[in-house]
Amino acid sequence: MTSGRSPPVMNHTEGGLVIFSANSHPSSREISKRIGERLGVELGKVQVYQEDNRETRVQIQESVRGKDVFIIQTVSKDVNTTIMELLIMVYACRTSCARSITGVVPYFPYSKQCKMRKRGSIVSKLLASMMCKAGLTHLITMDLHQKEIQGFFNIPVDNLRASPFLLQYIQEEIPDYRNAVIVAKSPASARRAQSFAERLRLGIAVIHGEAQDAESDLVDGRHSPPTVKIPLLIPKEKPPITVVGDVGGRIAIIVDDIIDDVDSFVAAAQTLKKHGAYKIFVMATHGILSSDAPKLIEESAIDKVVVTNTIPHEHQKLQCVKIQTVDISLILSEAIRRIYNGESMSYLFRHIGLED
């Protein structure tokens, strides 16, 4: 007899299942391999590489005619190349007569650019349109920066949650977590913190007065007063940084969806230390950790940074021993299995509210 769990049952409907890894970077293919192993399916044969002139080349090396194709794409450091790899592979499958093409994009790039700012643009809307135009028929992603991004697509979007895995980490890896308090580093992230706190039966604290970047419209030609008197909003005044809630003698767990520029997290950790927190964790779904983030974390008052593997960050972990990873390939593989078998996805969204 053999031990261990067997792969989940895949109903082999007409056509078949093909899973491709769209990324040309070796570290980014790791999660694709994990998903394939969990499903008991070998990854499809495909070549993705960059020409000498930096053009992206995709060559699918097996038939996808009439098959259900799942393309897994994780965001590497070169985000624009990542997007082109995905778009070209989707279009290649479409022109090769695949029956359906589902994109599995754990971290949706450009998700922070989902609102109009001055004379900018809503880039995530543009990216959604490009994906649909290329031939995507379904999207699986995780913890969108703003849930409203789902409305940018005219195809089904399953926005999975990583919070169950992070909650499990807190319960299993922080022995005295009952003496912890969930912290929102700004009022904007208070809803997420509240969700964690209610599920763990813990208290909540909010850091208020975080410095915001001042936007000046005097230098770009917009300071053109009207000919009639119009009431204007009173300018915002930054209050002194303070902590609303008791963190003295407790473990502070800062929660957020993305950790990229870590300056605000480092500043929050310093504030919490001053207010008596004796251990500080930072937990986020997407660990982009760009630039010198690992060095700043290593030198900060933060004890541990816990992120999922929606984005490869093995290089950052070599620079900072405080970074730990939670594997979420289990829920992605289950989503693929359910979609392929035509099963309901509602089980994966149990107990999820608007604030999650």
pLDDT digits (tens, 9 = 90+) for 83-113: 999 999 999 999 999 999 999 999 999 999 9
pLDDT at residue 214, as a whole number: 45
Strand pairing of 56-60 and 46-50?
A: antiparallel
pLDDT at residue 180, as a whole number: 97
pLDDT at residue 221, as a whole number: 56
Interaxial angle between packed helices 123-134 and 79-95, expressed in degrees from 0 to 180 and rounded to the nearest 10:
30
More confident call, 193 vs 117: 193
**pLDDT grade, residue 5 (50/70/90)?**
low
Instruction: Report whether pLDDT(162) > 90.
Output: yes
Tell me how far CA of residue 123 lies from CA of 113, 117, 149, 251, 319, in angstroms: 6, 11, 11, 38, 32
Instruction: Tell me the average pLDDT across 256-264.
Output: 92
Q: How many whole angstroms separate alpha carbon 300 and alpha carbon 309?
A: 23
**pLDDT grade, residue 240 (50/70/90)?**
confident
3-state secondary structure at position 124: helix
More confident call, 259 vs 8: 259
Inter-residue contact 30 to 36 (CB < 8 Å): no
pLDDT at residue 13, as a whole number: 42
Measuring CA to CA, which residue among 8, 4, 6 is closest to residue 338? 8
pLDDT at residue 12, as a whole number: 45
pLDDT at residue 95, as a whole number: 96
Measured in degrees and rounded to the nearest 5, phi and psi for residue 262 equal -90, 5
**pLDDT grade, residue 15 (50/70/90)?**
low
Instruction: Tell me the average pLDDT across 312-336.
Output: 92
Inter-residue contact 287 to 324 (CB < 8 Å): no
**pLDDT grade, residue 356 (50/70/90)?**
low
Beta bridge partners of 281: 253, 304
Q: How many whole angstroms separate alpha carbon 217 and alpha carbon 212?
A: 16
pLDDT digits (tens, 9 = 90+) for 128-150: 999 999 999 999 999 999 999 99
